[in-house]
Structure 1
């Protein structure tokens, strides 16, 4: 029995007024297929180009290992030069990913390759983040700490995106004091006998091809599965809903610091406790008997 996922609506192009009325204000996701066709990036951005302009940069790498108590918040697991990393991506499948990398700051020449779309959003100009992944690498289910609206553009390959609205959190085995669901859930093929609450979750799915953009409203959960080697860039705007701005401030100034404090104090017991509570709280709220 698969997850309950609807295809995310797709449009070829869209006006600012249409986007604001039908997607931004009601907070609905959409894929816009040809928004980047007038960007230099549409023709230029592939892995070989990134290797050419950023090959000597040392980049932080993440894999799919579970969170450990002795690792800091979003602490990288390894590093290598971009040139070596691109070679690895093109040679074989790898779990190593680049996550939240401000490559525009490191490689300014890339800044002239893209444009900030005029879609009625006040985009944060200083935070164009890039993400890279190899064939079959996966990004665990999570939501963003700052509850921003996200324009997620994909290049060089294909990526499958599974997303859930914030009101589906109760079904996703959310780990307390964190931004993630249980990391041992494979959302691309979940065991619904082991994770029965997922049967009730209602989400969305799409496959992004080169140059396509996914709009993810604020607070949406997302799980990314790289079907081929590729990379993406995310542009962001601040939360529109005042309650989400409050949640973002709580996450930034309290939650993550409290979690780091408890990791240092309790060690792995704190991680194990949170993972156990994700199951206990989810099943108790939904009256699911184990």
Structure 2
């Protein structure tokens, strides 16, 4: 098929491609007119008869429609999807059978009986919307309250890389070098950050669901994870339950059951025995052939969502944007 010889050829009504674009614009405008202005106004409240996997797919479609909070206006469907691809060219697709179910504010009993006791991952929605951090936290806010604080920074895209290292720097320098200027990949992963900066701790709360555990509240470990797009936590497992709260940006996450451990090729060294040797999104199937048969669940975690990662569940995390997450480790 030959291409039009001039730009004007694309604008004439006799061009089938132009007609299709025009029709697409009209159709998309009609769809936008039927939708609420914000994602929050597009309610997806269904009865318990509707399967959670169906609800999860609808929620993902809603997230794509509204993007980072506003609907793609004046665009065809193709243009909207192209914008997503241009902004984040490696955002993976998630098949229906891989989707992690989502629940809106389940009762403690429902969460305990259906997810905590059977050790099944789930995304909880609506439980952190009231946290001050969801509205307050930004780069400017972090500079304001913590800009001159010295913190440990992990340098490198993942801790299994040979060039990975750790260093100390003030928060302002970290933001300038790794977030704003994107000179390289660096990650602020801090277990004591909220003790060092009480203003941040005042903006979060320990989820009520942690009370279902056997440990005391004082034994809950709160972690901060702050870094640029492209930062990766290799596939690994932890010895505690985990609530991962997404505050800023999005993360692509894969979860593998502990039953899949044999297919995940953990490192043989003691220091990395809880970490897989496999590059999850670019696996060497000649070297690690059993990895292909390992079943997993996946999600793109967005601000306001809380992912329950059961104890010993293998998880792989890649930041799709500048990201700030808070995790709660509990037993």
Q: Do the two structures share a fold, i.e. TM-score over 0.5?
A: yes
TM-aligned CA distance change 1:65 to 1:129, over 3 Å: closer
TM-aligned CA distance change 1:114 to 1:123, over 3 Å: farther
Q: Is the 8 A contact 2:237 2:315 kept in 1?
A: yes
TM-aligned CA distance change 1:22 to 1:136, over 3 Å: same
CA-CA distance at 1:13 after TM superposition? 2.0
TM-aligned CA distance change 1:66 to 1:42, over 3 Å: closer
Give the count of matched residue pairs: 228
Counterpart-to-counterpart distance in 2, 1:196 and 1:79:
40
**Equivalent residue for 2:166?**
77
CA-CA distance at 1:223 after TM superposition? 1.0
3-state SS of paired residue (2:234): strand
**Equivalent residue for 2:327?**
234
3-state SS of paired residue (2:254): strand
Q: Is the 8 A contact 1:95 1:138 kept in 2?
A: no
Counterpart-to-counterpart distance in 2, 1:22 and 1:92:
42
Counterpart-to-counterpart distance in 2, 1:66 and 1:21:
36
**Equivalent residue for 1:161?**
253
Counterpart-to-counterpart distance in 2, 1:200 and 1:82:
42
In the alignment, which of 6, 28, 34 is matched to residue 126 of structure 2? 34
The yes-or-no answer on 1:181 pairing with 2:276 is yes
In the alignment, which of 128, 136, 141 is matched to residue 230 of structure 2? 136
3-state SS of paired residue (1:186): coil
The yes-or-no answer on 1:112 pairing with 2:202 is yes
**Equivalent residue for 2:78?**
none
Counterpart-to-counterpart distance in 1, 2:323 and 2:138:
8
Between 1:103-112 and 1:87-96, the stretch displaced more is: 87-96
Q: Is the 8 A contact 2:221 2:330 kept in 1?
A: no
Q: Is the 8 A contact 1:94 1:135 kept in 2?
A: no
CA-CA distance at 1:100 after TM superposition? 3.9
CA-CA distance at 1:124 after TM superposition? 4.2
Counterpart-to-counterpart distance in 2, 1:29 and 1:114:
22
* TM-score, normalised via structure 1 length: 0.72
Counterpart-to-counterpart distance in 2, 1:141 and 1:221:
6
TM-aligned CA distance change 1:226 to 1:67, over 3 Å: closer
**Equivalent residue for 1:286?**
none
Q: Deviations over 1:104-154 (max 9, x none)?
A: 11101122111112122356445211112211111111112xx11111101
Q: Is the 8 A contact 1:123 1:235 kept in 2?
A: no
Which structure would you say has the larger Rg?
2
Give the unaligned 5+ runs of structure 2: 1-92
Q: Is the 8 A contact 2:94 2:299 kept in 1?
A: no
Q: Is the 8 A contact 1:101 1:131 kept in 2?
A: no
The yes-or-no answer on 1:90 pairing with 2:185 is no
Give the unaligned 5+ runs of structure 1: 239-290
Q: Deviations over 1:230-284 (max 9, x none)?
A: 111111212xxxxxxxxxxxxxxxxxxxxxxxxxxxxxxxxxxxxxxxxxxxxxx
TM-aligned CA distance change 1:227 to 1:94, over 3 Å: farther
* TM-score, normalised via structure 2 length: 0.63
Counterpart-to-counterpart distance in 2, 1:34 and 1:18:
15
Q: Is the 8 A contact 1:124 1:235 kept in 2?
A: no
* Higher RCO (Cα < 8 Å, 6 or more apart): 1
Question: Which stretches of structure 1, 4 residues or longer, exceed 4 Å deviation after superposition?
Answer: 2-5
3-state SS of paired residue (1:174): coil
3-state SS of paired residue (2:285): coil
3-state SS of paired residue (1:190): coil
TM-aligned CA distance change 1:18 to 1:65, over 3 Å: closer
